[in-house]
Amino acid sequence: MLTTRLPIRVEPYKLAARAERLEGLMALVDFTRLAEEVGAQTGDIRVTLGFGIDAQGRRVIHGRLEADLQLPCRRCLSPLAQRVESDFLLGMVTSDDLAAELPSTHEPVLVEDEQLNLLTVVEDELILSLPQVVYHDEADCEVSRDQLTSGEDALASREPAASPFDVLRHLKGKS
């Protein structure tokens, strides 16, 4: 069982030069932007980061993350357990100009003052990996399909809409 906590900040160029690999856990409670998106989370996220230099001399990070989250069902808003996993490839850059030169297979990660905030990087990747919509199975959801539409609205949508010119027709006396 993995119990090592990852550091918040690292020196990625040194790690890449030595082809280091970091593997450990980060507390989900520390991810404030994630909490704003899907609600407060508990537990840990498992992260693996392999630092290195690719064949073109670019400093890269091969990463993988795995987390068990409680995401709100879009129908009833009750929490629903979801496993989120992601593999990613980051290219380390020091400016936006260098980020534009990266191939499409690499996502840029900005390294400032030779320091990288792992908390921000992992949180960004986790947010990007969230499913677009999450629903309970209809049988398990607290809200049924019938509760999502009102009976009057459903009947009104089946009837053809009245012509806006019917009022004028009646005013002129033509029926």
Q: What is the pLDDT of residues 39-98, one digit of tens each?
A: 999 999 999 999 999 999 999 999 999 999 999 888 788 888 999 999 999 999 999 899
Model confidence pTM above 0.85: no
Q: Which of 23, 48, 53, 43 is nearest to 125 (CA)?
A: 48
Report helix, strand or coil for 51: strand
According to DSSP, residue 162 is labeled P
For 54-174, list the strands marked E by DSSP.
59-72, 79-93, 107-110, 116-117
Q: For residue range 3-38, what is the model confidence (pLDDT) as tens digits?
A: 789 999 999 999 999 999 999 999 999 999 999 999
Pairing state between β 79-93 and 107-110: parallel
Task: Say which DSSP state 30 is in.
Answer: G
User: Which of 36, 14, 38, 7 lies closest to 119 in space, CA to CA?
Assistant: 7
